[in-house]
Amino acid sequence: MARPYKIPQSVLVVIHTPALEVLLIRRADAQEHWQSVTGSKDTEAEELRETARREVFEETGIVCAEGLVDWNLENVYEIWPQWLHRYAPGVRHNTEHLFSLAVPAGTPVQLHAREHTALQWLPWEAAAEACFSPSNAEAILMLPRFAARA
């Protein structure tokens, strides 16, 4: 059975502690790529907040009971050529919706082994520098402003 095409609507969730240490996870399919939690909607009807909760749980094992903040910001970017095959023919851009999730320091993380191979907690500025994605780095650099509002 063929896999359905990915929906070009995704979330990026910056997971952080109160001290603004940011969780970064390393992609299994690109070992040099560190990132925050990301993922696409499973269905067109899925609410973005639910996508964010589901992706956080699938990728880290963290349950979003509270602390998930919708930044009401989005990035539209061109999909990297190596991942175009995951989308319907003609789809070239994705819309990424930004969220953050505050968790207590020491929150256990259980990575989804097929998607990610390592994790690290870094101070927010160092985390931004470590990200391969410019939009992910930019979101982390905005974290202090959004964390102060939460």
Q: What is the pLDDT along the chain (150 residues), one digit of tens a residue?
A: 567 899 999 999 999 999 999 999 998 877 788 999 999 999 999 999 999 999 999 999 999 988 899 999 999 999 989 889 999 999 999 999 999 999 999 999 999 888 888 999 999 999 999 998 999 999 999 999 988 776
Is residue 38 annotated as involved in ligand binding?
A: yes
Q: What is the pLDDT of residues 94-134, one digit of tens each?
A: 999 999 999 999 999 999 888 888 999 999 999 999 998 99
Whole-prediction pTM value? 0.92
Q: Which of 142, 144, 130, 35 is nearest to 80 (CA)?
A: 35
Q: Where are the alpha helices (DSSP H) in the chain?
A: 48-60, 124-130, 134-149
**Residue 27 marked as a ligand binder:** yes
**What's phi and psi for 22, nearest 5 deg?**
-110, 135
> Given this model, what pLDDT does residue 40 score?
95
For residue 61, give the nearest of 139, 12, 115 by alpha carbon.
115
Nearest C-alpha neighbor of 75 from the set 96, 60, 90: 96
6 labelled binding-site residue: yes
Flag whether 55 is marked binding.
yes
Quote the CA–CA distance of 23 and 13 in Å, as a whole number. Answer: 10
Residue 115 is labelled as binding a ligand: yes
Fold of the 9-149 domain? Nucleoside Triphosphate Pyrophosphohydrolase (3.90.79)
Q: Is the Cα torsion angle 141, 142, 148, 150 positive or negative in sign?
A: negative
Q: What sign results for the dihedral spanned by CA atoms 144, 145, 146, 148?
A: positive
